[in-house]
Amino acid sequence: MSLTFSETVTGSVTDGVLVVTIDNPPVNAASADMRQGLHAAIDHAAAAPEIAGVVITGAGKIFVGGADIREFGKPMAEPLLPQLVNHIEASGKPVVAAINGAALGGGLEIALGCHHRIASPAAKLGLPEVKLGIVPGAGGTQRLPRLAGVVTAAEMVATGRMVGAEEARRIDVIDAIADSDLIAQAVAAARERAGQPPRRTGECVIASVDQEAFKKMANKVLARARGQDAPEEALRLVRSAAERSIAEGMVDERATFIRLRDSDQAKALRHVFFAERAAAKVDGLDGVEPRPIRTIGIVGLGLMGSGIAVAALDGGYAVIGADMTAEAAQKGRERIVALLDRNVASGRLDADGREKRLARLTTSGRLEDLADADLVIEAVFDDLAVKTELFQRLEGIVRADAVLGTNTSYLDPDVLAAATKRPERVVGLHFFSPANIMRLVEVVNCAKTAPDVLATALAVAKKLGKLPVVSGVTEGFIGNSIFSAYRREAEFLLEDGALPEEIDAAMEAYGFAMGPFAVFDLAGLEIAWARRKRQAATRDPDERYVEIADRLCEAGRFGQKAGRGWYAYPDGKRTVDPEVTALIEAARTKKSIVARRIEAEEIVARLLGAMAAEGDRLLAAKIAQRASDIDLVLINGYGFPAHKGGPMFAAGRV
């Protein structure tokens, strides 16, 4: 018999066990209707003598994706999530969570309120609330440490890290992994426990805390949190779980959750969450099928190409890496192997995973060996003649339906495409270095790119675990256009009176890991210098132009690698260099500028304003589809602090 508890929660009785199914697409979020339905299902079981226990599961591929983020900021209907979880835990009849897929945030909290947890092998569990600028609000900070211990739980809550079923079992967050039939196993578990006192997570005693291990973990987490409030609060709440009753802990947790939920950081991070989902929706691609891609060819196995190769291997593709000579290809192969080895050393990859990846890799010094590739990505020297010749040669080698991707940062891919016979198969795939780590890929929609080629590039980037953002063609695409505006304004600030160290300090206090001048030094100053020299002939003489960076380059100060740039680097440590200060002062004198003191607030406002103004230009020119896409590019490619929402959000453009 089928029972209906609400629009999103139904039940059926198997073997005397009430199997409750949450069906609230797309992610079975804990909406008001879902909470009411689940509450009613527990009540129903309590009142029905023929029911021995309850199993809770989710329809589809997800258990419960968390609280309904769309309800945040609106009045919440009862039962609130913590009330629901307490109600489940208080049930006198055994409640078993059959975790069929992702159990995240409020979803894991519901599972923690159950008396027994069985997960399918593909399930993912975690409390990712900090990524939304909040802490769990339904007992997660109090119940997780009762199962996993304080140190492990605190690390998971403060970083939002998800664990797979295997790890969840190892750290006692779940009791079993299902062999085949998850529901049958969960029903059997409920039957076995019928009539016995339920094991309530909230009543479990917390194991003693290893203070040293906690301190070490907390320092690491806080170093990465840089100005975000939620990770620190998460650490505090989990740690104090060992020192007080669960009831007290939950009151504190809820108050903290509500305070953070209404904070500017949480608003910004919610914007980022929805921005990521919006970025996947690209105009003109509705119903367009990507081409099937199994083998990816990569030409040029330098730093960038080998990073892309590792990303492609991680994504499950067969990879053919090609370079101009057998020797260069062999060097490339060694680079790829070294990257894989580094992942093994850091524990990110196991030996088996390394072997499987290497089995899918071939390298060659002959372009002809790319004949089988479904997609070829070039990552050769950023020179139009070199890339044009390469694409023309590739045309004679690859199939007519193979896609050609260019990783150029500054060249015009329309010019490159126009030099080929089938410009519709050319697309930009602008990776960021190191390409196996950085999440951003600008997918460049060229003038002639066919919709299914664009869809293919997006699908491949997604499969590599990347965040693809579509950009139109303009010099530097979205990211480097905005970054150029940022650089220009930073240099204006220099002339007006601020020093590099003051500008960097202001931006680092705002939330950037590194201020602009430290970044310029890290990236090296010579590429921008070469561009400025190229542009010199066509530059408007009335346009404000700051020469200080040119003076630096002329003095051989090319940045950190050269040991000197905007800063000096004795023993590798960033240090203010009086020689640079003197250069800046001389440049001001030459233009008769009287330096004035510029406060951090003005520095931040001007740099953000410059980025947002350039963003406005990109939107007007339809280079970017939406303001939130620009925010994603800056956050994921240029170190803009996510908890500020990106330059467009911060400037009130969203």
Q: Which of 38, 41, 55, 67 binds ligand 3HC (CB under 6 A)?
A: 67
Residue 109 designated active-site: yes
Return the CA Rg of the chain: 28
CB of 608 to ligand 3HC, least distance (A): 27
Q: Are 200 and 115 in contact (CB under 8 A)?
A: yes
List beta partners, residue 88: none
Q: Which of 84, 104, 225, 237 binds ligand 3HC (CB under 6 A)?
A: 104
| C-alpha–C-alpha distance, residues 370 and 394, integer Å | 8
Residue tagged 């609400």 (tokens): 6
| C-alpha–C-alpha distance, residues 319 and 309, integer Å | 7
Count of residues that interact with ligand 3HC, criterion CB under 6 A: 24
Map the footprint of ligand 3HC across residues 3-32, applying CB under 6 A.
26-27, 29
Count of residues in the chain: 654
3-state helix, strand, coil in the chain (%, to 5): 50, 15, 35
Report the alpha-carbon angle 301-306-307, nearest 5. Answer: 145
DSSP 352-389: HHHHHHHHTEEEES-GGGGTT-SEEEE---S-HHHHHH
Map the footprint of ligand 3HC across residues 226-285, applying CB under 6 A.
277
CB of 162 to ligand 3HC, least distance (A): 8
| C-alpha–C-alpha distance, residues 190 and 54, integer Å | 7
Contacts of 67 (CB under 8 A, 6+ apart): 29, 30, 81, 105, 106, 137, 138
Structure tokens that stand for 4 in this block? 């209906």
Measured between alpha carbons, how far is residue 560 from residues 188, 261, 567, 569 in Å?
63, 41, 8, 7
Piece of 127-135, 230-238, 262-270, 470-478 that binds ligand 3HC (CB under 6 A): 127-135
Q: Which of 53, 94, 105, 307 binds ligand 3HC (CB under 6 A)?
A: 105
3-state secondary structure of 91: coil
Map the footprint of ligand 3HC across residues 74-93, applying CB under 6 A.
81
Nearer to ligand 3HC, 288 or 509 (CB): 288
CB of 85 to ligand 3HC, least distance (A): 9
Q: Which of 62, 165, 322, 336 binds ligand 3HC (CB under 6 A)?
A: 62
CB of 261 to ligand 3HC, least distance (A): 8
Q: Which of 68, 155, 229, 491 binds ligand 3HC (CB under 6 A)?
A: 68
Q: Is 138 in the site for ligand 3HC (CB under 6 A)?
A: yes
List beta partners, residue 403: 375
Q: Which of 11, 53, 58, 128 binds ligand 3HC (CB under 6 A)?
A: 128
Structure tokens that stand for 416 in this block? 């490159």
Q: Are strands 440-444 and 467-471 parallel, antiparallel or unpaired?
A: parallel
HSE, side-chain direction, 13 A CA sphere, residue 134: 29
Nearer to ligand 3HC, 283 or 585 (CB): 283
Q: Is 106 in the site for ligand 3HC (CB under 6 A)?
A: yes
H-helix or E-strand spanning residue 195: none
CB of 518 to ligand 3HC, least distance (A): 32
Nearer to ligand 3HC, 309 or 464 (CB): 464
Which among 109, 253, 489, 614 is annotated as catalytic?
A: 109
CB of 125 to ligand 3HC, least distance (A): 11
Q: Which of 34, 132, 238, 373 binds ligand 3HC (CB under 6 A)?
A: 132
Q: Is 461 in the site for ligand 3HC (CB under 6 A)?
A: no
User: Among residues 626, 618, 623, which one has the least CA distance to residue 281?
Assistant: 626
Residue 101, judged by CB atoms within 10 A of its CB (0-12, 13-18, 19+), counts as: buried
| C-alpha–C-alpha distance, residues 471 and 476, integer Å | 10
CB of 365 to ligand 3HC, least distance (A): 40
Piece of 61-69, 227-235, 509-517, 604-612 that binds ligand 3HC (CB under 6 A): 61-69
CB of 599 to ligand 3HC, least distance (A): 37
User: Among residues 273, 632, 480, which one has the least CA distance to residue 640?
Assistant: 632
| C-alpha–C-alpha distance, residues 229 and 233, integer Å | 6
Q: Are 529 and 553 in contact (CB under 8 A)?
A: yes
Nearer to ligand 3HC, 125 or 580 (CB): 125
Neighbours of 556 (CB within 10 A): 10
Nearer to ligand 3HC, 104 or 163 (CB): 104
Structure tokens that stand for 209 in this block? 């805390």
Which among 89, 129, 276, 442 is annotated as catalytic?
A: 129
Q: Is 305 in the site for ligand 3HC (CB under 6 A)?
A: no
Q: Are 104 and 131 in contact (CB under 8 A)?
A: no
Nearer to ligand 3HC, 62 or 230 (CB): 62
Q: Is 468 in the site for ligand 3HC (CB under 6 A)?
A: no
Nearer to ligand 3HC, 120 or 481 (CB): 120
Amino acid present at 27? V
| C-alpha–C-alpha distance, residues 140 and 155, integer Å | 13
Piece of 134-142, 367-375, 453-461, 591-599 that binds ligand 3HC (CB under 6 A): 134-142
Q: Is 163 in the site for ligand 3HC (CB under 6 A)?
A: no
Nearer to ligand 3HC, 73 or 570 (CB): 73
Q: Which of 113, 137, 321, 500 binds ligand 3HC (CB under 6 A)?
A: 137
C-alpha 162 chain-centroid distance: 13
CB of 207 to ligand 3HC, least distance (A): 23
Residue tagged 């797979």 (tokens): 164
Nearer to ligand 3HC, 129 or 577 (CB): 129
Q: Which of 45, 113, 123, 129 binds ligand 3HC (CB under 6 A)?
A: 129
Nearer to ligand 3HC, 96 or 104 (CB): 104
Piece of 3-11, 66-74, 412-420, 583-591 that binds ligand 3HC (CB under 6 A): 66-74
DSSP state of 497: T
Q: Rule CB under 6 A: which residues touch ligand 3HC?
A: 26-27, 29, 62, 65-70, 81, 102, 104-106, 109, 128-129, 132, 136-138, 140, 277
Catalytic residue numbers read: 109, 129
